[in-house]
């Protein structure tokens, strides 16, 4: 069974990721951000069973711990004092602000992990190529630059390890020398491929005329409905946040964490937006199970 989200139109996927990125920076209520992180973790698990997410878990955990622990000691604002450390007060407000900031950053990083898996190069170019062909291409290269270099670095390190060069064994000088050799090969490989890509694009006339998409994506009626639904829910969240719902006052004095009825409306709207891939995958899973049941049921009737 293929991934149902990957078959969605690029415009729908792009609107979803834009909405998630905006809401991750727009709200600062711990409940909104915490539930958003949990939902996006589940979303990433549906893509590739969490293979890409597992690589980022150590870095995300360390980043959250550092922000939450360090912020109260470098920021003394607030009125709810826990204790004093070297003459500086450690406050509840500073601790909560660190937690909110870390959850917001984690939410954005989780969104980009999913973005790299779902909105691939062809889909990204399809969204922007008609208006900004060169900018879209450069952005796509920038998005894939880090994972590409990481993969190439692993390949080069494996080859150099066979030749006896390793950055994990030997003296510090030997490790540094091996690391410089690996970086030199990586830089040479990347520059050579960049020149080949540039010559190939120039020969094919990229950016000169109107670009025709390699895959002709077409908006279905159901996808138009999803576009409208996501846009309406995003508008509800933006208007609610503009009126102060889904947000808390941290400085100079911590405000109430209580949620009012309109807060819950905004929260449900945000939750539906965040869980959009889960809804799509759940629908595909139900259709798949129903088709299997229908097939087995028809086969059993045929035998009887």
- Over residues 67-90, the pLDDT tens digits come to 888 888 887 776 777 777 777 787
- Does 212 reside within a domain? no
Rg over CA atoms, the chain:
25
Q: Residue 89: beta bridge partners?
A: 84
Both 23 and 118 in one domain: the answer is yes
At residue 208 the predicted structure's pLDDT band, cuts being 50, 70 and 90, is low
Alpha-carbon distance of 184 to 254, in angstroms, equals 52
Phi and psi for 122 in degrees, rounded to 5? -60, -40
The predicted pLDDT at position 22 comes to 92
Residue 184 has pLDDT above 60, yes or no: yes
- Does 210 reside within a domain? no
Residue 211 has pLDDT above 60, yes or no: no
Selection from 3-12, 131-140, 176-185, 188-197 with the highest mean pLDDT: 176-185
- Does 281 reside within a domain? yes
The predicted pLDDT at position 1 comes to 40
What is the rounded average pLDDT of the residues 238-258?
83
Please give the tally of structural domains in the chain.
2
Domain limits for position 19: 5-125+218-303
Residue 2 has pLDDT above 50, yes or no: no
Hey, CA dihedral for 160, 161, 164, 166, is it positive or negative?
Answer: positive
Which is nearest to 153 in space by CA: 190, 186, 179, 193? Answer: 186
Mean of all residue pLDDT scores within the chain: 80
What is the rounded average pLDDT of the residues 275-290?
77
DSSP label of 211: P
Ranking 96-100, 102-106, 134-138, 169-173 by mean pLDDT, the lowest is 134-138
Both 116 and 14 in one domain: the answer is yes
Both 163 and 92 in one domain: the answer is no
Both 56 and 106 in one domain: the answer is yes
Both 176 and 242 in one domain: the answer is no
Overall pTM surpassing 0.95 (yes/no): no
What is the rounded average pLDDT of the residues 139-155?
73
Last residue of a domain, one of 203, 235, 261: 203
Both 54 and 9 in one domain: the answer is yes
Both 146 and 237 in one domain: the answer is no
- Over residues 102-144, the pLDDT tens digits come to 999 999 999 888 888 887 767 777 777 667 666 766 766 666 6
The predicted pLDDT at position 290 comes to 63
Both 191 and 110 in one domain: the answer is no
What is the rounded average pLDDT of the residues 35-54?
86
DSSP label of 220: -
Contact between residue 4 and residue 281 where contact means Cβ atoms under 8 Å apart = yes
């Amino acid at each position: 069974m293929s991934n149902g989200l990957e078959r969605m139109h690029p415009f729908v996927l792009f609107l979803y990721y834009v909405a998630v990125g905006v809401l991750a920076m727009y709200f600062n209520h711990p409940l909104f951000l915490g539930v958003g992180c949990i939902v996006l973790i589940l979303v990433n698990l549906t893509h590739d069973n969490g293979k890409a997410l597992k690589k980022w878990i150590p870095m995300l955990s360390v980043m959250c711990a550092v922000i939450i622990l360090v912020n109260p000691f470098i920021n003394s604002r607030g009125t709810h004092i826990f204790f004093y450390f070297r003459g500086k007060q450690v406050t509840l407000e500073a601790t909560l602000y660190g937690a909110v900031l870390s959850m917001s950053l984690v939410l954005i990083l989780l969104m980009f992990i999913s973005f790299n898996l779902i909105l691939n190069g062809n889909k990204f170019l399809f969204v922007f190529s008609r208006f900004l062909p060169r900018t879209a291409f450069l952005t796509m290269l920038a998005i894939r630059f880090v994972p590409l270099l990481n993969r190439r670095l692993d390949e080069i390190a494996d080859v150099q390890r066979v030749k006896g060069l390793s950055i994990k064994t030997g003296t510090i000088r030997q490790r540094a020398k091996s690391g410089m050799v690996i970086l030199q090969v990586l830089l040479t490989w990347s520059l050579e491929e960049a020149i080949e890509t540039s010559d190939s694009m120039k020969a094919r006339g990229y950016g000169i005329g109107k670009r025709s998409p390699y895959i002709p994506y077409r908006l279905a009626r159901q996808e138009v409905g999803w576009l409208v639904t996501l846009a309406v829910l995003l508008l509800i969240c933006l208007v609610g946040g503009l009126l102060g719902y889904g947000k808390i006052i941290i400085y100079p004095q911590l405000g109430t964490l209580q949620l009012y009825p309109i807060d819950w409306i905004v929260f449900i709207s945000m939750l539906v937006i965040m869980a959009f891939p889960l809804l799509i995958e759940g629908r595909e899973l139900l259709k798949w199970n129903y088709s299997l049941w229908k097939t087995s049921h028809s086969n059993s009737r045929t035998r009887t």
